[in-house]
Structure 1
Amino acid sequence: MRVSKEAAAASRARIVAAASRLLRERGIEATSIADVMAAAGLTHGGFYRHFGSKDDLVAAALGAAFAGHAERFAERRAAQGAQDALRAYVEEYLSPEHVARPDRGCPVAALGAEAGRGSAEVCAAFARGVEETIARFVSAAPPGTDAAAARAAAIRRLATMVGAVIVARGVGPGALGEEVLAACAETRDRAPTP
């Protein structure tokens, strides 16, 4: 039985959404194609109608995860302005809720180490997402900020945020994780500076 293009696109979107969530929750190596297909409500045999390989799926899932963060930032930017949107993003990022829910969180904090050991396709998808994140941070720099200085500040901010979340997840719930988040939260109040 032939599946319509619309049904195939809907199935692919379900697979990508399930993969995006599971990969961030469990990691790349710990998430199988069978896990993703079951979470999407589809049979394992249909996977190769949509993707050429697991790396193809991981790249698509990374793209979707980064796109979700970009959409939320864009919505905030439209409603609040660039600098307030960035402050809200940083506050949400450095929250206990983000630490507790990697499946909904930033793919950099959830998958950075694994993506770096992945295929060229996975690394490229990850790098695109990181570049887009840096560009969003740069776009929130105060008017007149030197472009190179704004980019360097954006990279420092992202690295601080990601590191804080990784450490807070690593130490588990409790006072130390909260202390790590609080110590790094000052990035939300600092304007990008060289």
Structure 2
Amino acid sequence: MARVSRAQAQQNRERVIDEAARLFRERGIQGVGVADLMAAAGLTHGGFYKRFASKEALVAEAVGRAFGELGERLAALDERHPGDHPAARRELLDFYFSAEHRDHAGQGCPATAFGGDLAREAPGSLAREPYAAGLSGFAGWLADRVGTKDPAADNGGHEEAADDDGDLVAVATMAGALMLARATAGTELSDRILTAARRSLDDRARGSNRGGPDGSTMRTAPPPPSAIPAGASEPDGRP
């Protein structure tokens, strides 16, 4: 048998990681065995442990690879819309909440695809660190593009309060909605979930809470404390 060059061996290893990133998202980590991975990469089963210490080690690399692919897609959005964050946001959300994305998990968002599996992993799982790093990077990109103010919040009843965790709210909304939409695929509810989540993020980006036709908020700010007679209740019923 011809000896494989070091360069070819590295290419083979990269191919296994690529296939793992796809298949784990598509079928779940427990739904894909080592033999499946190697076959998908066009390699023999016996060569797996020459390339990876364990399946757990491969999972960690696959998670990192999937988030790396996401990062490349986000960078491509910025290149197509230089300096135009609203346009980049719209293109991302158009795809993210689409039926195509919902129905093709293998090439989709790793935050959703790996989240359920990693939640069941034991503490100290090798994949937790690349998942957290990838999620943070995704949130960082969203911070300037999806809206970081909570339209339902107020600051003393006068102006909107900044939401320091608005990027995490956006990630949680997106990943959670996609997971639920996939779980209910084939039902009317699935489409409604995607539509509702998209509307919520659009409202957030506009700084309104499903406001009027001009985009202004419909929420009425409470009067300042000095305008409330002693012993009376706040407008929301709280004393």
Could you state the TM-score of these two structures normalised by the residue count of structure 2?
0.73
Give the partner amino acid of 2:139. I
Superposition deviation, residue 33 in structure 1: 1.0
Give the partner amino acid of 1:44. H
Is the CA contact (8 Å cut-off) linking 1:91 and 1:188 kept in structure 2?
Answer: no
Aligned residue runs from structure 1 range 1-194, under 5 A:
1-80=2-81, 81-118=84-121, 119-140=124-145, 149=162, 151-186=164-199, 187-188=201-202, 190-191=204-205
Equivalents in 2 of 1:35, 1:5: separation in Å? 24
Equivalents in 1 of 2:40, 2:29: separation in Å? 15
Is the CA contact (8 Å cut-off) linking 1:153 and 1:192 kept in structure 2?
Answer: no
Superposition deviation, residue 108 in structure 1: 1.3
C-alpha RMSD of matched pairs (Å): 2.1
- CA 1:53/1:63 → structure 2, altered by over 3 Å: closer, same or farther? same
Match of 1:145?
none
Equivalents in 1 of 2:14, 2:137: separation in Å? 22
- Any runs of at least 4 consecutive aligned residues in structure 1 with deviations exceeding 4 A, and if so which? none
Equivalents in 1 of 2:7, 2:143: separation in Å? 37
Is the CA contact (8 Å cut-off) linking 1:66 and 1:107 kept in structure 2?
Answer: yes
Gaps of 5+ in 1: 143-148
Equivalents in 2 of 1:44, 1:23: separation in Å? 17
- CA 1:130/1:2 → structure 2, altered by over 3 Å: closer, same or farther? same
Alignment size in residue pairs: 189
Superposition deviation, residue 120 in structure 1: 2.4
Identity of aligned residues (%): 37
- CA 1:20/1:172 → structure 2, altered by over 3 Å: closer, same or farther? same
Superposition deviation, residue 188 in structure 1: 4.0
Match of 2:222?
none
Q: Which has the larger radius of gyration?
A: 2
